[in-house]
Amino acid sequence: MKGRPLVKALLAEGYIAAFALCAVYVPKFITIHPGPVFGIAAFLSLFVFSAACMGYLFLSTPLLLALESNPKGAVKYFAQTLLYFALMAAVSIALLFILHI
């Protein structure tokens, strides 16, 4: 199997954590207040970038497996990646509640 589902899930969780940290701490360093068009453009750009990153992390290997005539392997890989990601997300959310961050 190309890549590892756990590694892909860890990368996705790391990307989300890095984005959350930037969303919390970067505005503290910005002293200018751009207009609303900037906010809308920034949101849409980050949304498209995030969708592309997550699409690559979650779908690239399953699509390659499906194209190589291995649909069962594709479904298994995708399901494993989602399961690992769901477990990590649950642990992260639980830690946030426990630590009151």
Whose tokens are 């980050």? That residue is 46
Residue 101: pLDDT band (50, 70, 90) is confident
How many domains does one find in the chain? 1
Percent of the chain residues past pLDDT 90, beyond the cut: 76
**Which residue range(s) make up the domain with 16?**
5-99
Write down the pTM of the prediction: 0.83
Three-class DSSP category at 69: coil
| Among 64, 80, 85, residue whose Cα is nearest residue 9 | 85
State mean pLDDT over 35-57. Answer: 93
